[in-house]
Structure 1
Amino acid sequence: MKTTTACAIGIATYAAGLAVGSQVIARRWRLTWGATSDEVTRTMPGDELLAEPDIVATRAIAIAAGPEQVWPWLVQLGPGRGGAYTYDWIENLLGLDMHSANTILPEFQSLSVGDAFTLGAKGPHMRVAILDPERTLVFASEDGRWVWAFGLYPAANGVRLVSRNRIATPDATVSTRLFNWLIMEPGSWVMERKMLLGIKERAEGRRWRNSRRSPGDRPAVCPR
């Protein structure tokens, strides 16, 4: 009996360790999706605005286009502007009023440091903290708990678009941190992955290439 009990405890301990380990590995993959090790460790403009974050996510994508073709899609980001190029229906379930543009909108191309928008009725107020045309765009929340940076870096066949989120949760309870780990972080990966792919497709000019639908129809998405 004692041997059986010890064996059962050993198996349970191993299974628990395996589950936790797999979650840790999956979490790192989600938080660094698409990014190289150099991109993950590289200091980016905006890092200094939140020196001790609790969560850092650095995600990236290669875009076969020049920075001048990517930049306009970045500067029109935001609710009531160009949207977020992700799953609008999910964003709008959360009350964010996002409608992703499929063209460059001239009225939203004159972004300046200090310009701000609010993510939803009760969401954070995001302000442009750093703007270096065709290189860097950094948003920071007015409460100082979120910094969202975009960097465009030269690559062999275009540019690398790197997105970094630095988030502080100093008042979070254990249950809140667990919720963030199991629900919010995977959700943010799903949405940001879609956003990066959406910017890539638009900047490369292939989002609805070869579509034969009429202008009033919903465009067909090219396969990846």
Structure 2
Amino acid sequence: MQATSRALAALSCLTVGVYAIAVRPRLLRWGATDEEVAQPYPGADIVPNGTRGATMAVTIEAPANQVWPWLVQMGYDRAGWYSWDRLDNGGRPSADRVHPEWQHIELGDWLTAWSPGGQVDAWEVAALEPGHFLGLHGRSDLRGRPFDLAGPRPRVYIDGLWGFLLVELPGDRTRLVVGGYQTARPRWLQVVGDFFVYPPVHWVMQTRQFANIKRLAEREWTRTSDHQTHR
């Protein structure tokens, strides 16, 4: 019995060690260059005392003005989130085209989110530079309810920025860099979340979103380019 317990403890320590040394660092910078990880990321002032979260990136073979429309129409009651729809969109397929009626957003707007338990939450549009940067601010208490920044903060809360930065590249290409900042109380909640929870969960959802936004934006850009060529 004691031998089994020691073996399980050793295996647990080994698993945590491999995760900490080999897995977690890769998840935190998936697809991002050294420069993208090292350079300042917009929106640090939105989450006071927040720590820099993961920086992930993908190259899209389409100009930034063709990628931006897919970002601004995100939302559970809009185009969805382009990730695993059963997990973050109530099972409804995310949009596969740009919807003109969802292209106008402003600072202070709320983009509805959805969680697997059926909980409806929301991200506030906290930073908006059309064609360049979209910053979504999510903050909730223990019950998953957004709290008002004008009042006192709950004893237990999560506060974070989910940012989408578009960087134009030569040859009608775009670098989509996703990053942000996060904090939580009590402090142990942030420590556990930053180490064990956020990196793998964010990686699973973000890489799927990257793949779908890349596919959709490149498809539409190819159609537009072919149409212009044959005019």
TM tier, smaller: 0.7 to 0.9
Instruction: State, as a whole percentage, how many aligned pairs show the same letter.
Output: 32
Aligned to 2:19: 23
Aligned to 1:118: 112
> Unaligned regions of 5+ residues in structure 1, if any?
1-8, 210-224
Q: What is the CA–CA distance in structure 1 between the aligned matches of 2:91 and 2:127, rounded to whole Å? A: 25
Which 10-residue stretch deviates more, 40-49 or 137-146? Answer: 137-146
Contact 1:84 1:100 in 2 (8 A): yes
Contact 1:60 1:161 in 2 (8 A): yes
Secondary structure of the 2:32 match is coil
Aligned to 2:44: 47
Aligned to 2:95: 101
| Structure 1 residue 182 displacement after superposition | 3.6
* CA deviation map 1:92-132 (0-9, x unaligned): 4xxx5653100001110011111113323645431111111
Aligned to 2:185: 170
Contact 2:69 2:98 in 1 (8 A): yes
Report the TM-score when normalising by structure 1.
Answer: 0.74
Secondary structure of the 2:166 match is strand
Larger Rg: 1
Q: Return the match for 1:63 from 60, 64, 80.
A: 60
Q: What is the CA–CA distance in structure 2 between the aligned matches of 1:76 and 1:85, rounded to whole Å? A: 11
Secondary structure of the 2:65 match is helix
> Unaligned regions of 5+ residues in structure 2, if any?
1-5, 140-146, 150-158, 224-231
| Structure 1 residue 51 displacement after superposition | 4.0
Secondary structure of the 2:55 match is strand
Contact 1:79 1:99 in 2 (8 A): no
Q: Return the match for 2:174 from 138, 152, 159.
A: 159
Aligned to 1:186: 200
Aligned to 1:218: none
Say if 1:179 and 1:71 are closer, same or farther in 2 by CA, change over 3 A: closer
Is 1:129 aligned to residue 126 of structure 2?
Answer: yes
Is 1:138 aligned to residue 138 of structure 2?
Answer: no
* CA deviation map 1:125-154 (0-9, x unaligned): 311111111101111125471111111012
Equivalent position amino acid for 2:19 in 1: Q
| Structure number with higher strand proportion | 2
Is 1:34 aligned to residue 34 of structure 2?
Answer: no
Superposed CA RMSD: 3.0
Q: Return the match for 2:217 from 199, 203, 217.
A: 203
Report the TM-score when normalising by structure 2.
Answer: 0.72
Aligned to 1:74: 71
Aligned length: 194
